[in-house]
Structures are given as structure tokens and as C-alpha cells.
Structure 1
Amino acid sequence: MDSEMEPIPIGSQKRDLAWKHCQMFKIENRVRLKCIYCGKMFSGGGIHRIKEHLAGQKGNGATCPRVNPDVRHTMRQSLDGSMVRMKKKQKIVEETANQLMLPNEGETYNTHSEAITGLQLLAAPDSGEPNLGLSMKEEEGMTDRSSERWKRGAVGGPSSAPLGDNHPIRDLTLRLTRGKDQVHMAIGRFLYDAGVPLDAVNSAYFQPMVDAIASEGPGLKPPSYHDLRGWILKNSVEEVRKVVDQYKGTWGRTGCSVLADEWTAEAGKILINFLVYCPEGTMFLRSVDASDIIRSPVALYELLKEVVEDVGVQHVLQVITDSAEHYIEAGKMLTETFPTIYWTPCSARCIDLMLEDFGKFEWINAILEQAKSITRFVYNHVDVLNMMRRYTYGKDLIQPAITRSATNFTILQGMVSLKNGLQAMVTSQEWMDSPYSKNPDGLALIDVIYSQPFWSSCVTIIRLTDPLLRVLRIVGSEKRPAMGYIYEAMFQAKETIKKEFVEKKDYLAYCNVIDHRWNRQLHRPLHAAGFYLNPKCFYSIEGEVPNEIMSGMLDSIERLVPDTKIQDKITKELSSYKNAVGDLGRKMAIRARHTMLPVEWWSTYGGGCPSLARLAIRILSQTCSAIGFKQSQISCNQIHHQRRNHVEHQRLSDLIFVRYNLRLWQMLHRKNKELDALDPISFDTMDTVQDWVTEKEKLLGEYGSSDWRALIQPAANTMLALSPNDETGGLVAGFKDNEIPIGIKYEVENETENQLEDDGDGDLGDQT
């Protein structure tokens, strides 16, 4: 018989101690285990039977007469630990099952169909997952069938009293205690009971938490309320401060930008969150209730001054705020007090206002309303929404962006991309057989979906707004400083619009909108200096550098470098930069102009111009935007309550400090820009997409249905990322390399447009 035995190697995945004391063979297609001491062969029971054999424990196998006493003692300890773990698991399963049972276990549903409906709310358990409710996994190796039957019976398996069809509650309980279904339901119950926002599961820290809990196994005692408010928060604060100190350590080289992000919170309170940006990352500083001072330029100035002094005047290059008049006045006072600092309006907010102005054109607003009529009908009728998702292969019409104005135009882009699916839906037999095909709203939907002028206008609007949406992604980049790109990006956006519309009378009104916001808010010396110091942009200029760019560069030198001797050195080094002298003219440096980030380029090749290189690194390391950072969910009524305990107030301040900075780092380091399980009709996105998914006058039509349980689960939506998806290419994505400002041509075109602006209104109100 031994000649027919085929040895099987014991792999590294077999971690139980007993595997070192046995051999595994294959005999007639059956796996058997052999004790290496006495040679006894076991045909069943797995590694657990071998362990009992070696331990000398009475069970299903004989005791080994030749095993070493030390091995016998080790096996007995292992068996004792296994029994303890098994009992803990068994207890947890039974307790969970009891918690899921309703008070009246004997109560049944009125009809069998109602029972089935209740069960359909649950996803079927994955057959590949371990069945924790019906069988307990052994430590290693093969399964002992008799032991498995005993464990199944212990938790109400087949050997327990049979459950008939009239016990749907008990059937439901059994289904919920199986594998990952049980875990997911437990997580859900906790989130629902605690009132935690459901998008908390999208946190980058959620999976590590689950992994940490799983690694400890059953019976882990969770932290208490006082633990979370005590030593855990204390340690978290220390962890965050260490990272913040690392950021601060880079400010001497790169400088930093102070960001003032204003938002309206509960009860109409106006809060200002202060953040500090540097290339290493953005850190949250503090939150201030500015409700009583927001309209006072003097009070705002005092607040900004205090923050700048806390950060360090020597580190701050600019303070970025909203562009409202009171901020402009406060900014002027701030720069008078600190002559080495700029005040700059938020570029992302400015571009959003441009998009908002575009939406006010009569013909664009009319198209947006037609598009909203489609989405409102679809997203308020379950059957239609399910139908739409089938014909668009799970894709949604709603694509939320960072702001409402940007959302309007990203949704148009999404609708145009799904045009064929929408048209296929309303011509399908499924649609024809549905009551919506005879509904007046449904008939109106068909008219819009099959309107060629509507789709042509959508394409025109996309061609008009897409360049600005790309600039929005650039200025709000989370991973790359945008200061070296904003000037070129805005110029290219205008040039792209001109090329799309060809005739000046067609594009002039829109360019005037851009110029109005740009000249009032974004035409800043720092932006011009960023263009000048970006080698990719600077060396692409043909002819002389435009005067406004050169002037911005010189202004930045005077303001940011108070030492006149260093100013003179930088001025001399500008000539070396212009003529690409020394290392700046190396073949490697020339190639790297288009492949390296500007800061890296200056760090590598700027050694021959040390003073200019230091200034270039500081300017090119700055951001242009103060929005796009997710707000803290802690109630402002807690942290900004008028009557408060000072000890608890400091604790809440530290809690916000930890929470906000963790979220900022999550934004910086997340690899996937898709927000999983982002539902367009969820209240989590309602502020942005409200006009697209809520009915104006009526909630539902005559044939409407609001049974959300029948909805097809949405696929992951992609929000308009503030940074481009391609992190290896140029930051100004979507524009050709030769579309850059060209000296004299740039100035002459501006003069021609100014003349046209005086001679005609360029109104495109009727153009589609």
C-alpha cells in the first residue's frame, strides 16, 4: 500500500504547530495525515485530529505512545487556546442572532409574498465567503465533518428544530449571521444609530480601521467614550502636530500661503476656516466665528493680521480670501502693514463666477432649464431611473462638481456623452409599454431628448465652458502648486474660445465676461511672475516679454525681497535666465523645461542664479485657490457657543484640528478620485445638484413611484476633480503647447477687442 502513497508537500500557508509533526499523503485520490512519531495514518479529522493524537487528549483518535513530552505539552496548550477561541466565536454568533430577533419571534407576516419582499432587501450571501453562522472554521487544514455538524446544530442549523415557511423573521436572522453580510449589517446598524453621515465609509481611514479590528479577532473590547475623549484624542493631536511641524519645516525654503475659506454654517453663522498651504500639504489652523465682523473691513484686517503673525510674516507670500468688497479693503490694509505680503482673491471662486455669468445668458439658461427638465423627471421616478441606468450601462446623468456653476456644465457634458442611451431608452418597447410614454411629462421628455437644436446647443455650451472647467482643475490642484500656470491657462482658455467661435462678434461677449473678472480680480503680479519663472512658458515666448508680465515680475521682486542688495542681484540674474546662461542652457535643462515641475527645474539647474532661484522656488510653490477643502462636520454650535466651558472648548478645538487635518491629508494622498457610492439624489450632494433632481412645483406625476427599495444601485460617480487625472503630464492639460502668449500679437489683439467693445455690444442672447 505504501508504494501507492503519493507524498504531498506541506506549504508555508499551513501555520498550525501540529503540521511540523505529521506528513501528508495522497492515497487513491484521498488526502491522509501520518504521525511522524508512531506512524499512525489518519483518514479524517484533519490537523485537529493529529493535535489530539499528539496531546494525548481523549477524542476521536488514539494517543501517540512515542511523542516527546515537550511536544505533548505544546499540543495541549494549543488545544486549550483553540477551545477558548471557539467558545468566544460561538457566543458572539449567538448574541448577534438574539439581537436581530424581534421581540415577538412567533409573529409572522400576513402573506408569503410579504415575507419574500422582506428577504429581497438583502443581498444574497457570497458563496465564496466563510459561513460563520452555519460552520466554524477549524484552525488549519481539512474539516472534520462530524465536528461541523455539531457546530451547525449549536447555532440553529439543520440539526436544530426545523423552521417552516411561516417563520420569515427567523429565516432573515439566519441570513444576516452569515459571513460578511453579518459584518456589513453590524456596521450599518452602528452608523444609523449614531447618526454618522453615510459617506463616512468613503474615508481613507475606514478600511484600515476595519482591518485593525479584524486582526484582533472576536472579543475585542472597543474604546470607551472617555477613551475617545481622553488618551486617544491626546495621542491623535500629537500625531497631527508632528506632521504639521514637518510642513512648517519647509516654509523657510518654499514659503506658504494663508487661506481664508468662508462658509455659512448652522443657524446662519458665518465661519472662516484658516488654512496654510505649502507644496508638502495644506494644514488646518483654526476656525473663527466671523458673524459679527464679516462686514467690517477693519475687524477682518485685525483677524487676518493675527493669523499672519501666528504663521510668521517671514514665511507668508500671500493671503487668499474671497473677492467681496470688505475683503478687498481688509487686504489693502494688510499689505500696508506687511509690505512683503500680497493679498490675492481666490482664483477658483473667480472662475466659478465666470461660469455663473455664462449661465445668465438667456439662451444658455434656456438650454440648462431644458436639460433640468430631463433630469428632474428621471430622478423623481424610480422606474424611469432604473430604465435610464440600464440603457446607459449604470452611468448617471448627474455628475456633481465642486461648485453649483461648474456642476451645471459638467452635467451637460455627461448628458451629451449619454445621448444615444437616452434616445434608445425612449424608443424602446419597455418605454412604450410603460405609463410614462402616455404621460404629458413623459411626452415632453421625448420632445427634448429628440430635439436636434437642443443637442446642438449643448455642444456649443460645452465648447464654450470646457476651457474654464479645465482652468478650475488647474487652480485647485491638490498635488501641484498652480502659481506657475494660472496666467497661461487663462490666456489659453480665451484663445480656445476664440478658435471655437471664429468670428469676434460670436465670442466677444463671453471674452468680455472673462476679462471683467480677470482684470478686476485675477490680474495679479504674482500670477505674472509665476508665468515668467515657469521655464516652459517663458522660453516659448517669441519676441519680447509682454510689458504686463515683466512689470509683474519686477513688482514681485520689490515686494517679496525687501533687501535692496539682493534685489540688485536678482535683477542681474534675470539676464542669465533670459539668455539661458550656464546650467540653464544645458541640453538636459532644455528638455526638462517640458517634463519637470518648475520648482524642481529651478532646484536642479538654478545654481548659477542662486538669488533668483530662491525667489522662483518661493513663488512657484504657491497655490491660487482657497476652496475645495471639505468642511468639518462638528456642529458649530458646539465650538462657537457663546456660553462654554473653557476646558471642553479647548478639547473641541483640538478635535476639529485633528479631524480637519486628517481630511486634508486624505484629499492629498488619495489615489482614486472616484467617490464610491455617491448617489446623485443623496442629501450628501443635494446642495450642489438640487436644481437638477428636485421638482419645482410637484413632487411626483400621476404615475410616479417613490419606492427607493426598487432602485438599481448607482455606479460610482466621478466628481470634477480639482487636479487633472494625468499626474505625469503637463499641468495645463487639454491645451496645445504652442498656444501661449506671444508678445506683440497679444497686445495688439487686446487693443482690437477693446475697440470692438466700444463699437458694438456683441450680444449673443439669441444665438444657439
Structure 2
Amino acid sequence: MPLLGKAVEQVNKIKEKHEAAWKQYGCTLMSDGWTDRWGRHLINFLVNSPEGTFFLESVDASSEVHDAPMLADLLQQRIDLIGRDKVVQVVTNNGANYKAACKLLMERIPTLFWTPCAAHCLDLMLEDIGKMKEFSKPIARARQVTTFIYRHGRLLDAMREKTGGRDLVRPGVTRFATAFLTLRSLHTHKDALKFLFVSDDWTKSKLARTEAGKKVHDTILSTEFWNSVEDCLRASQPLIILLRIVDGDERPAMSEIHTKKRNRLEHKRLNDLVYVQYNRKMAVRRSAAATAPIRRTYEPQEDEDMEDDNSDEAYLVDDVEVDDYGEIAPIVADESDQAAGGGGNSDPFVMEDDFY
């Protein structure tokens, strides 16, 4: 039997423990959809119970019209697979199609409840805050700064030297949380950035004489900009902390796998890979949590703890892929990405060498 097949069998044994908990306590079916770089719409299905979260499967729904009847049928199929007597509630995002689908589903199954995703609600709140004039301007200016720095290799190296190897762009649990975490990172490294843009290396460089370079320089040395960043942070920090609480459990690594070269794998094998990887990881986490001391109070995490497993990679706030919750799918540079950049250096991973 192939190695992947053996791994699937091992995870199926883990599933048996979860199924016992589903039968004893009931469970929650969770749906998480997103669109990859090739335009495929993939929907992940997870089941939560006192035993933990279990990744059930992923469905490629690219060829389907995502209306209420279609989504209701899709969810009902998974409920029937688990057992109607075991599924207590369904959790999805707050999209109008999902609201209508779950209303239809509750009519079909009277014992079922629909609960909107708390993380999605908080993300929508951050989105609304980001649209306000007082916040949209500093976010846009911060985006210009990070985009400019990450598109020029030597400038990026110089920035990392000044910040002690730290990156400015901070991937968060959701798209809009990422924007505010990036503001926090910029504020943390404010002195290092100011020092960089008044140094001889910068003033003598070709970039300092470009219009884009002058705008970034003026932004970094602007007191008004940094005051507005502080206002954004004061408004967003409580929501970001709460977002980390409600979205504490790890989600499937479907986005990471799908955005890499493994996209070329047929969907069944890809689904098996995620099935094995995610459920094994959750089993290890649950085992570790069972032996860890109980924390009776919540302590807000520092920004370093808010990064995900891909924090060493470069991200751009305005160049990401997003799922139905606003979740970020990591951007990974491969040969096709580099080639697509062409000569215009529009790709953030194609570095320009005109710093000096």
C-alpha cells in the first residue's frame, strides 16, 4: 500500500475517537470556503466536539452556482454522513447565500441550529473601521511604504538590518487583521525606519531621487502619519485580541497546500494530504494541551505570537488571496510566479537592484 494510503488509515483510527465523541456529546459542522489563485472555489468541512476539531474533507465546487439550494444540499450531505442525530449546529460565514442556505437547512432539519462565524463578524467590523476616512488614509500610506520596500531587494536588506532581521508585513488570522498588524509592526520599528530613510545609504541611492521614493521618505518622517497610525492601533487592538481568542484553533492548511506546486495534484490525493496533515497536527496539539498547565486568565499575546507558520515569507498587504472569511492564502514564489513578473517588476519577489 502507498505511504499516503497508510497515513490515511492511521488518521481514520483517530477519527474513530472523534466519532465516539460526536455520538456522546453531539457536534458542530463547520464550513470554510475560499478561492485559490487558479479561480477554483474549494470548501473545507470540519467537525468540532469536546474531542477537538477534525478535518472531514474538501470539496471543489468551482463548477457549481453557489446559491442557497446548492449550499444547503452540500451541507446536508455532510450532516447525513455524520448522522443527523449527532450534528447540533452548523457554523458558516455571514454571506447572504450561506444565511439563506442555513435557513433552508433548518427548515429541513428542525433540530439543527445555524451560528454565524464569530471570526467573520469581527473581520467585517475591522473592514468597516478600515473604510473610515480617518483609518483608510494611514492604511493606504502604510501599504505604499511596505510595497515600495519589499519590491527593492537591497532596500529590503537594509531595512531588515535596521530592524534586527524583523519583517514589516505581519500575516494575521484574517485579511483586515493583517492590515492593522502591519500598522503595529511599522509603529514598532518607527525609529529604525526613520534612521534608514535619513542614512547616507538612502540619500545617495537612486531610489531616493524617484517620485515613489520621495513619497515614502516623506511618509516615514511625517509626524501626522505616525499619529494617525497610533489612532488606528487604539481602535483596532481590542478587536484583534478578541479575534485571536475566537479563532484560536488552527484551521486546515488547505490554503498553504493549494497555493504551492501541489495544485497540480488531482483533488482526491490533495484532499488525502490535507486530511492527514491537519488531523495529525490537531492530534498532537490536543495531546500537548492535555499535559500543559491550565491557564485561568487570558493574557493578550504580543505581536510576535500573532504571526502564522509562514512568518518568514514576504507578504504584501495589497497582494494576497482571500477566502470566504477574509482569510489569507500565503503567496509563495515559484518559477511560474517569477516568470509572470516580466520586466515590470510588479511581482514583490522580483527584486530590483537599483538601491545603490
Name the TM-score class by shorter chain: 0.7 to 0.9
SS in structure 2 at match of 1:314:
coil
Is the Cα–Cα contact under 8 Å of residues 355 and 405 in structure 1 kept in the other structure? yes
The reply to whether residue 264 of structure 1 matches residue 35 of structure 2 is yes
CA distance in 1, matches of 2:173, 2:45: 19
Residues 666/354 of structure 1: CA separation in 2 closer, same or farther (3 Å cut):
farther
SS in structure 1 at match of 2:84:
coil
**Larger relative contact order (CA 8 Å, sep ≥ 6):** 2
CA distance in 2, matches of 1:274, 1:260: 5
The amino acid across from 2:73 in the alignment is E
Residues 268/390 of structure 1: CA separation in 2 closer, same or farther (3 Å cut):
closer
Give 2:253's aligned residue.
630
Is the Cα–Cα contact under 8 Å of residues 426 and 446 in structure 1 kept in the other structure? yes
Deviations 1:452-482 (A, max 9, x none): 1111110001111111111211111118xxx
Task: For residue 370 of structure 1, report the CA deviation from its aligned partner.
Answer: 1.2
Q: How does 1:458-473 map to 2 (within 5 A)?
A: 458-473=229-244
The counterpart of 1:661, out of the listed 279, 290, 309, is 279
Task: For residue 408 of structure 1, report the CA deviation from its aligned partner.
Answer: 0.7
Give 1:335's aligned residue.
106
CA distance in 2, matches of 1:414, 1:635: 32
Give 2:226's aligned residue.
455
Deviations 1:64-97 (A, max 9, x none): xxxxxxxxxxxxxxxxxxxxxxxxxxxxxxxxxx
Give 1:221's aligned residue.
none
Task: For residue 329 of structure 1, report the CA deviation from its aligned partner.
Answer: 1.8
Is the Cα–Cα contact under 8 Å of residues 260 and 321 in structure 1 kept in the other structure? yes
Deviations 1:623-676 (A, max 9, x none): xxxxx432153548723xxxxxxxxx6x67645533443355467678987636
The amino acid across from 1:679 in the alignment is E
Unaligned ranges ≥5, structure 1: 1-229, 480-627, 640-648, 711-768
Deviations 1:224-263 (A, max 9, x none): xxxxxx3423321221011111122223444321011112
CA distance in 2, matches of 1:676, 1:305: 34
Is the Cα–Cα contact under 8 Å of residues 253 and 274 in structure 2 kept in the other structure? no
Is the Cα–Cα contact under 8 Å of residues 401 and 410 in structure 1 kept in the other structure? yes
The counterpart of 2:4, out of the listed 223, 228, 233, is 233
CA distance in 2, matches of 1:379, 1:707: 12
The amino acid across from 1:658 in the alignment is V
CA distance in 2, matches of 1:265, 1:676: 17
Is the Cα–Cα contact under 8 Å of residues 171 and 308 in structure 2 kept in the other structure? no
CA distance in 2, matches of 1:361, 1:422: 26
CA distance in 2, matches of 1:423, 1:455: 11
Deviations 1:153-189 (A, max 9, x none): xxxxxxxxxxxxxxxxxxxxxxxxxxxxxxxxxxxxx
Give 2:295's aligned residue.
none
The reply to whether residue 378 of structure 1 matches residue 6 of structure 2 is no
Deviations 1:672-729 (A, max 9, x none): 87636622159xx953588xxxx9xx648xxx96359x9xxxxxxxxxxxxxxxxxxx
The reply to whether residue 424 of structure 1 matches residue 179 of structure 2 is no
SS in structure 1 at match of 2:165:
coil
Moved beyond 4 Å, runs of 4+ = 651-656, 663-674
Residues 296/681 of structure 1: CA separation in 2 closer, same or farther (3 Å cut):
closer
TM-score between both structures, scaled by the size of structure 2: 0.76
Unaligned ranges ≥5, structure 2: 290-304, 322-327, 332-340
Deviations 1:543-587 (A, max 9, x none): xxxxxxxxxxxxxxxxxxxxxxxxxxxxxxxxxxxxxxxxxxxxx
Aligned residues: 312
Residues 364/676 of structure 1: CA separation in 2 closer, same or farther (3 Å cut):
closer
Residues 459/677 of structure 1: CA separation in 2 closer, same or farther (3 Å cut):
closer
SS in structure 1 at match of 2:145:
helix
Q: Which has the larger radius of gyration?
A: 1
Residues 674/433 of structure 1: CA separation in 2 closer, same or farther (3 Å cut):
same
Give 1:282's aligned residue.
53
Task: For residue 272 of structure 1, report the CA deviation from its aligned partner.
Answer: 1.8
Is the Cα–Cα contact under 8 Å of residues 15 and 54 in structure 2 kept in the other structure? yes
Task: For residue 354 of structure 1, report the CA deviation from its aligned partner.
Answer: 1.5
Is the Cα–Cα contact under 8 Å of residues 293 and 300 in structure 1 kept in the other structure? no
Is the Cα–Cα contact under 8 Å of residues 629 and 664 in structure 1 kept in the other structure? no
| Identity percentage of aligned residues | 33
Is the Cα–Cα contact under 8 Å of residues 412 and 458 in structure 1 kept in the other structure? yes
Residues 305/636 of structure 1: CA separation in 2 closer, same or farther (3 Å cut):
farther
Give 1:679's aligned residue.
313
CA distance in 1, matches of 2:272, 2:206: 56
Residues 699/273 of structure 1: CA separation in 2 closer, same or farther (3 Å cut):
same
Deviations 1:299-345 (A, max 9, x none): 32222222112212232221011222222122112222322221112
CA distance in 2, matches of 1:412, 1:430: 25
Residues 340/355 of structure 1: CA separation in 2 closer, same or farther (3 Å cut):
same
Task: For residue 400 of structure 1, report the CA deviation from its aligned partner.
Answer: 1.1
Residues 289/444 of structure 1: CA separation in 2 closer, same or farther (3 Å cut):
closer
Task: For residue 291 of structure 1, report the CA deviation from its aligned partner.
Answer: 3.5
TM-score between both structures, scaled by the size of structure 1: 0.37
Q: How does 1:504-519 map to 2 (within 5 A)?
A: none
Give 2:128's aligned residue.
357
Residues 669/351 of structure 1: CA separation in 2 closer, same or farther (3 Å cut):
farther
